[in-house]
Amino acid sequence: MKDGHDIIGLGLESSCDETAAAVVKNGTTILSNIISSQIDLHREYCGVVPEIASRAHLETINGIIDRAMEEAGVTFGNLHYVAATSRPGLVGSLLIALQSAKAISYVCDIPLIGVHHLQAHLYAPFLEGHEPVFPYIGLLVSGGNTALFMVRDFDDYESIGRTVDDAVGEAFDKIAKFLDLGYPGGPIIEKLAATATVKGITFPRLLPDRGDFRFSYSGLKTAVIQYMKRHPDAPREEVAYGFQEAALELLVRRVFEVSRETGVPRIVVAGGVASNGRLRRMLNDGRRREERIVVPSPLLCTDNAAMVAGIGYRFHQAGRHDSCSLDVCARG
């Protein structure tokens, strides 16, 4: 029996290499948030293999849904809607969560809501007690995306700047692979960089002209590789530190530049790279008194289904539902 006061939603996520299911109440209270990572499956390839990812999602998702429902203490009869990531991402992976959501929608006769993965990430802080105040500047940083948005409402996003080549998380993975450090690169490089003592290796900060809010990491990646070819015995921790400082400084300078030029002092930072402790410190050190920066906890920075169910609630309340003919899309 559905509660007449609380709105309970199930969220599903399988856009890349995490299979996730979550139950959220009223768009803000997480009742369960189950995530199954595939890192061990992809580690030997130093990156996500689409075929392996989609197969693992298929084998895992039913069990993940069962665990999420059990932990939340609800049944399918308690659900008011089901939301799933429909774009962007790996097509074969996206299909697993969306098709599961369609089946639940049909059998339970509840609305289906397709969710944009990037919008879901920027919703994550609002699952932890932060009240959304519009407009705000959204910085999304992950293995597949590095982008800036002007966010005027839950479904009103304007792209301000994106990477023209590598995403920042992708650059971390590639440099970690080149240095033979392992996968995923972000946490490994952050940990190694923290051990650097001399900190004498610097790499160029490649910034476009003022007013150009795009990002580029290809040049930085090349600079690190060329440096290592000239200095093969350079301490890995010093190289990791120099790379991380340059990579994160571009993010920090960009987001503050956009905030100050637009006069919007509210900033939300989300995505896997937002869990980087050094990035959080640089943002805090660089902000002005009137600027408010909101970053979700590390668990909600990574791909998860609570953010999908959360923003799904907002769309449900607005009457924005999808039919079972909804398809996935690799690009946003």
Answer yes or no: same fold for 8-124+302-317 and 133-295.
Answer: yes
**Would you say residue 44 has pLDDT above 90?**
no
Alpha-carbon gap, residue 31 to 10, rounded angstroms: 10
**Would you say residue 52 has pLDDT above 70?**
yes
User: Which of 5, 16, 242, 232 minimizes the C-alpha distance to 117?
Assistant: 16
- The predicted structure's pLDDT at residue 2: 61
pLDDT, tens digit, 9 for 90 and up, residues 186-207:
999 999 999 999 999 999 876 6
pLDDT, tens digit, 9 for 90 and up, residues 162-177:
999 999 999 999 999 9
CA distances from 258 to 94, 124, 214, 283, 285 (A): 32, 21, 11, 14, 17
Residue whose entry in the numeric block shows the structure tokens 């932990």: 71
Query: What would the 3-class secondary structure string for 22-75 be?
Result: EEEECCCEEEEEEEEECHHHHHHHCCCCHHHHHHHHHHHHHHHHHHHHHHHCCC
- Distance between terminal CA atoms of the chain? 37
pLDDT, tens digit, 9 for 90 and up, residues 205-224:
766 567 789 999 999 999 99
pLDDT, tens digit, 9 for 90 and up, residues 79-101:
999 999 999 999 999 999 999 99
The CATH code that applies to domain 8-124+302-317 is: 3.30.420.40
**Would you say residue 279 has pLDDT above 90?**
yes
**Would you say residue 1 has pLDDT above 60?**
no
What is the residue-averaged pLDDT of the chain?
A: 94
Q: Residue 4 — very low, low, confident or very high, per pLDDT cuts 50/70/90?
A: low
Q: Residue 293 — very low, low, confident or very high, per pLDDT cuts 50/70/90?
A: very high
**Would you say residue 32 has pLDDT above 90?**
yes
- The predicted structure's pLDDT at residue 125: 94
Q: Is the dihedral of CA 101, 103, 108, 111 positive or negative?
A: positive
Q: Residue 63 — very low, low, confident or very high, per pLDDT cuts 50/70/90?
A: very high
The SS3 call for residue 37 is strand
Mean pLDDT of 7-29: 97
The SS3 call for residue 40 is helix
Mean pLDDT of 26-47: 94
Q: Residue 127 — very low, low, confident or very high, per pLDDT cuts 50/70/90?
A: very high
Mean pLDDT of 259-270: 96
Enumerate the domain spans of the chain: 8-124+302-317, 133-295
**Would you say residue 241 has pLDDT above 90?**
yes
Label residue 204 exposed, middle or buried (CB < 10 Å: 0-12, 13-18, 19+): exposed
Q: Is the dihedral of CA 12, 18, 24, 27 positive or negative?
A: negative
- The predicted structure's pLDDT at residue 3: 54
User: Which structure tokens are listed for 108?
Assistant: 């339970």
CATH architecture of 133-295: 2-Layer Sandwich (3.30)
Alpha-carbon gap, residue 73 to 221, rounded angstroms: 47
Work out the number of other CB atoms within 10 angstroms of the CB of residue 78. 18
pTM of the model: 0.93
Label residue 187 exposed, middle or buried (CB < 10 Å: 0-12, 13-18, 19+): middle
- The predicted structure's pLDDT at residue 208: 59
**Would you say residue 290 has pLDDT above 60?**
yes
Alpha-carbon gap, residue 63 to 291, rounded angstroms: 43
- The predicted structure's pLDDT at residue 212: 83
